[in-house]
Amino acid sequence: MIPICDLKQQYLALKNELDDALKQVATSGRYILGPQVAALEQEIADFCGCKYAVGVGSGTDALHLALRALGIGPGDEVITTPFSFVATTEAIGLVGATPVFVDVDPQTFNIDPENVEAAITSRTKSILPVHLYGQPCDMDAIVDLANRHDLAIVEDCAQAIGATYREQVVGSIGAAGCFSFFPSKNLGCMGDGGMITTNDRSVYERVEMLRRHGGSVKYHHSELGLNSRLDEIQAAVLRIKLKYLSKWNARRRSIARRYNQLLANVDNVKLPRELDKDGRFVRAGQGNDKSSLITSVYHQYTLQLEERDQVAEALRRQGIETFPYYPVPLHLQEVHAQLGYKRGCLPVAERLAQSCLSLPMFPELSEENQQQVVDVLLSATGSPSASYAGVA
Ligand SMILES: *Cc1c(COP(=O)(O)O)cnc(C)c1O
């Protein structure tokens, strides 16, 4: 079986280091908001080039609390993408605001800034771009719109930790960056966890207070908050893994580049595209490291194919796990039915939901296993260049 993501391999590779850290927290007797969380917050702030970082209970809470801290609430509209995990719009709903969906770019799957301006109303307070699959959104255009219309940008960086847009690391561009440490993310802990980054002292102070029941002095509460703190034990795990993150992200890019070469001649399959520094589309892993200032960190490597479900089934029969991230766009989810979006109103997102397929992608994926994925995919798509050499 070749899984889409293999967390056990990562644990085993770092077993001694991780086991020591877990034991150290256990024997310290400090489990909530202690030295591990404080140290990780500083390390993530430095990693992202931000002044502040606050550890919270999950990526969903990071989005929720960032919106709260920016004063976004009932009556406000937040413009976002229909092509993301539900947590993006869940957070908007949880603060009482309304998500407004605009269609995505068919090459990058990310929010298309060209569609944003027409969606701005007097109630719009924020733009919430999601750097999907690890690829930064077209941030120059989004920042320009936000500046002209006085909107706060909240970046959903759950899939993109370490991705860069020109000189900036994602999470440092908007008013707040929101990260998830869900186990399968590029930097994952052993449970739930999240982080908010910001350069704005008032956002930092407010989030810091909201995560601990809305008070900065113990047993004095100024507003309704949440219990949403990153655990010491998770912070200890993350501090170890953070040391390897850049190496892992580089490995993901090189896996993407290789998929790209091996799948170059397959019919009816569209490969991922990246934006380069001039805003042109380049092939996965090519808008790279030296020539481009925009770097995806390939949380997923996602194809577009016509016969998606048949191909996925053929791969499954050969022991290869894939997933359609995401099969239903957010505007057509039952939870958002009351918003009144109808099938056909965001055609690009709807088409991508029918055709997207994410392949196995994790830093430990071996060359042989990657070759096997490619061989099965070639035969499943009936590509003339299929070679069965690597298939057992
Ligand atoms: C994972 C994810 C989240 C939510 O993070 P959790 O830690 O699972 O709450 C939000 N947005 C996107 C795009 C995600 O992939």
The CATH number of the domain holding residue 59 is: 3.40.640.10
- The number of the ligand 1 atom at minimal distance from the alpha carbon of 192 is 7
Q: Does 151 reside within a domain?
A: yes
Residue 292 has what pLDDT?
A: 59
Instruction: Calculate Rg over the CA atoms of the chain.
Output: 21
Mutation to probe ligand 1, out of 5, 182, 230 (largest number of atoms < 8 A from CB):
182
85 CB within 6 A, ligand 1: yes
pLDDT in tens, 192-227: 999 999 999 999 999 999 999 998 888 888 889 999
Instruction: Output the CA 58–ligand 1 centroid distance in Å.
Output: 8
388 in a structural domain: no
pLDDT at 268: 85
In the predicted model, is pLDDT for residue 278 greater than 80?
Answer: no
Exposure string over 73-90, b if 16+ CB within 10 A, otherwise e: eeebbbbbbbbbbebbbb
The CATH number of residue 368's host domain is 3.90.1150.10
Give the strands of the sheet with 176-180, arranged side by side.
52-56, 194-198, 176-180, 152-156, 124-128, 77-80, 98-101
pTM value is: 0.95
Same domain, 102 and 22: yes
SS3 294: strand
Q: Among 242, 262, 285, which residue terminates a domain?
A: 242
Q: Are residues 141 and 174 in the same domain?
A: yes
Is 180's C-beta closer than 6 angstroms to any atom of ligand 1?
Answer: yes
Q: How many domains does the structure of the chain reveal? A: 2
Distance 291 CA to ligand 1 centre (A): 30
Q: Would 387 be classed as within a structural domain? A: no
At 140 the three-state DSSP class reads helix
The string of DSSP codes covering 152-210 is EEEEE-TT-TT-EETTEETTSSSSEEEEE--TTSSS--SS--EEEEES-HHHHHHHHHH
Pocket flag, ligand 1, residue 158 (CB < 6 Å): yes
- Cβ count near 384 (within 10 Å): 8
For residues 27 and 170, membership in a common domain is answered with yes
Residue 189 in contact with ligand 1 by CB distance below 6 A: no
Q: Give me ligand 1 centre to Cα 156, in Å.
A: 8
268 CA → ligand 1 middle, Å: 31
SS3 13: helix
Distance 266 CA to ligand 1 centre (A): 32
> What's the CA gap between 90 and 96, in Å, rounded?
10
Atom of ligand 1 nearest to the CA of 132: 13
Examine residue 326 and say whether the peptide bond preceding it is cis (omega within 30 degrees of 0). yes
Cα of 227 vs centre of ligand 1, distance in Å, is 18
Per the domain annotation, does 392 fall within a domain? no
Stretch 244-248: mean pLDDT? 97
* pLDDT on residue 283: 65
Indicate which residue's Cα is closest to atom 14 of ligand 1: 158
In a domain, 1, yes or no: no
| 367 shares a domain with 265 | yes
Q: Is residue 237 part of a domain?
A: yes
In terms of domains, do 12 and 133 share one? yes
Provide the 8-state DSSP code for 379: H
Provide the residue range defining the domain that includes 303: 245-380
Contact 192 CB / ligand 1 (< 6 Å): yes
| 158 in the same domain as 134 | yes
Domain identity same for 278 and 216: no
The model's pLDDT over 60-102, given as tens digits with 9 standing for 90+, comes to 999 999 999 999 999 999 999 999 999 999 999 999 999 999 9
Which atom of ligand 1 lies closest to the CA of 130? Answer: 13
**Residue 73: inside a domain:** yes
Among 188, 215, 242, give the residue marking a domain's end.
242
Query: What's the pLDDT band for 390 if we cut at 50, 70, 90?
Result: very low
Which of 4, 56, 60 gets mutated to test ligand 1 (max ligand atoms within 8 A of its CB)? 60
Distance 125 CA to ligand 1 centre (A): 22
Q: How far is the CA of 135 from the centre of ligand 1 (A)?
A: 15
Domain check: are 119 and 189 in the same one? Answer: yes
Q: Is the CB of 231 under 6 A from ligand 1?
A: no
Smallest CA-to-CA distance from 284 within 304, 259, 313 is with 259
Residue 28 lies in a domain: yes
Q: In what order do the strands lie in the sheet with 269-270?
A: 269-270, 301-305, 356-359
268 and 315 in a single domain? The answer is yes
Q: What is the pLDDT of residue 385?
A: 54
Residues 253 and 163 in one domain: no
CA–CA separation, 116 and 44 (whole Å): 30
Confidence of residue 392 (pLDDT cuts 50, 70, 90): very low
Domain closes at, from 220, 242, 264: 242
Note whether 232 and 128 are same-domain residues: yes
